[in-house]
Amino acid sequence: MAIKNPFKRQLTMAPRLQRLSGLSLFAGLTRGELRIIDGMLHQRDYLDGEVVFDEGEEGQALYIILEGAIEIRRQLSEEGVVLSVLKGGAFFGDMALLDAAPRSAQARAASSCSLAVFFREDFLGLMDTHARIASKISLQIARQMGARVRQSAGERSPVRQQL
């Protein structure tokens, strides 16, 4: 009888690999590159209302939504204010990949959800071992940040405010 490897369940994640290939963060990565990334990701399940990370907490990882929705909130009042709601395929906490600065907002599950977690030190290690993969991911993060800046500038523009 073959001996069952207790860690095998964690090792075989081909469906997740397929799902990863469709995410904007990993756009442009080859199959081999995705396999490297898949080996680095952790998967976590959160219940509706559960806090993923707090505002002000030291950021250690980037999160990718595989299923469900996440609220990004700021504690501007006692109850907190929802800044945005992210759905499957989106990623958040990306600033943590670039520096260890405190989180600028709180992330909380808006429904039961499944997240892939990309640990900062794994990403930094990737820069040494696979600079090509790291640069592709960095480009996607930079694009996301650019989009956020444009969106925020658009919201503040006088013309938009008049509209």
Partner 1 sequence: MSASTTYSTDSAILLRRSVRQDAGPFVWAVILVATCVLLLVFQKMLWLVVPMLLGLILYYLLVGFLSPLIYWGRTRESAAAIVMGSFLLVTAGLVLAAVPWVVDHLGDWQALVLRYFDGGLHWILETLRWLESSFSFLRNAGFAEKMSQRMTSGSGDVVSHVEVVLMGAAVWAPSLLLSPFLAFFFLRDGHAFNRFLSHAVPNAFFERTLALMHEIDQTLRAYFVGLIKLTVLDTVSLGLGLWLLGFPGPWVLGLICAVFAWIPYVGSILGGLLVVLVAATDFPTQPTMAYWAIALFGFVRLLDDFVYMPMTIGKSLHMHPLITVVMIFAGGAIAGISGLMLVLPVLGVVMVIGTAVGQIVTDERLMARHRFARELRRSMAARDLRGPK
Q: Which residues bind partner 1 (CB under 8 A)?
A: 5-8, 10-11, 31-33, 35-36, 39, 42, 44, 46-58, 60-61, 74-78, 102, 117, 119, 121, 129-130
Provide the CA 2 distance to its chain's centre, in angstroms: 38
CB nearer to partner 1: pick between 6 and 158? 6
CB nearer to partner 1: pick between 119 and 144? 119
The distance of closest approach from Cβ of residue 52 to partner 1 in the complex, given in angstroms and rounded to an integer, is 8
The distance of closest approach from Cβ of residue 96 to partner 1 in the complex, given in angstroms and rounded to an integer, is 9
CA distance 124 to 98: 9
CB nearer to partner 1: pick between 22 and 56? 56
Amino acid at 65: I
CB nearer to partner 1: pick between 40 and 141? 40
The distance of closest approach from Cβ of residue 59 to partner 1 in the complex, given in angstroms and rounded to an integer, is 8
CB nearer to partner 1: pick between 3 and 159? 3
Burial letters 105-116, b for 16+ CB under 10 A, else e = bbbbbbeebbbb
CA Rg value for the chain: 18
Look at strands 70-74 and 42-46 and give their pairing. Answer: unpaired
CA distance 20 to 14: 10
Return the closest-CA partner of residue 54 out of 32, 69, 25, 74: 74
The distance of closest approach from Cβ of residue 109 to partner 1 in the complex, given in angstroms and rounded to an integer, is 9
The distance of closest approach from Cβ of residue 44 to partner 1 in the complex, given in angstroms and rounded to an integer, is 6
